């Protein structure tokens, strides 16, 4: 799985958009970008994933650059409950042999302020 680089921490004001960057310059053509978050003392929570097109769901949007070397997770209207560690992960899905394995880095600690 390709390595990812994320900022250690970020701050965001409540109600504003939180934009979390991730660098994955060694991503291969069939690897997907996944985002998870972990709120203190809870298990990680799946947010979104994508291959090359931008994706949106009820939680967030994922913007992947055209060269796929970086991506941005966007929480459109951050709330205090979005304070968490956010993990960007790159891996193969169907067709690969990563069965169940996600390689978590250190992630970005997002703090949402009132």
Partner 1 sequence: KAGVTQTPRYLIKTRGQQVTLSCSPISGHRSVSWYQQTPGQGLQFLFEYFSETQRNKGNFPGRFSGRQFSNSRSEMNVSTLELGDSALYLCASETGPNTGELFFGEGSRLTVL
Residues contributing to the site for partner 1 (CB under 8 A): 32, 34, 36, 38, 42-46, 49, 87, 89, 91-106
**Which CB sits closer to partner 1, 8 or 114?**
8
Q: How far is the CB of 51 from partner 1 (least distance, A)?
A: 11
Q: How far is the CB of 35 from partner 1 (least distance, A)?
A: 11
**Which CB sits closer to partner 1, 2 or 102?**
102
CB atoms within 10 A of CB 47: 20
User: How is 19-69 classified by DSSP, letter by letter?
Assistant: EEEEE-TT--TTPEEEEEEE-TTS--EEEEEESSS-EE-SS-EEEE-TTSS
Q: How far is the CB of 7 from partner 1 (least distance, A)?
A: 16
CB atoms within 10 A of CB 17: 12
Cβ(106)–Cβ(6) below 8 Å: yes
Per the structure block, which two tokens stand in for 38? 């972990």
Q: How far is the CB of 68 from partner 1 (least distance, A)?
A: 16
**Which CB sits closer to partner 1, 97 or 114?**
97
């Amino acid at each position: 799985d390709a390595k990812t680089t994320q900022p250690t921490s970020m701050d965001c004001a409540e109600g504003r958009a939180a934009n979390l960057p991730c660098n994955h310059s060694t991503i291969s053509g069939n690897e997907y970008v996944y985002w998870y978050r972990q709120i203190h003392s809870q298990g990680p929570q799946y947010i979104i994933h994508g291959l090359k097109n931008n994706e949106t769901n009820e939680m967030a949007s994922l913007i992947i650059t055209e060269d796929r070397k970086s991506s941005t997770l966007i929480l459109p209207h951050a709330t205090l409950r979005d304070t968490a560690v956010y993990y960007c992960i790159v891996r193969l899905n169907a067709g690969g042999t990563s069965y169940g394995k996600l390689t978590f880095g250190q992630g970005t600690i997002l703090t949402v302020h009132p």
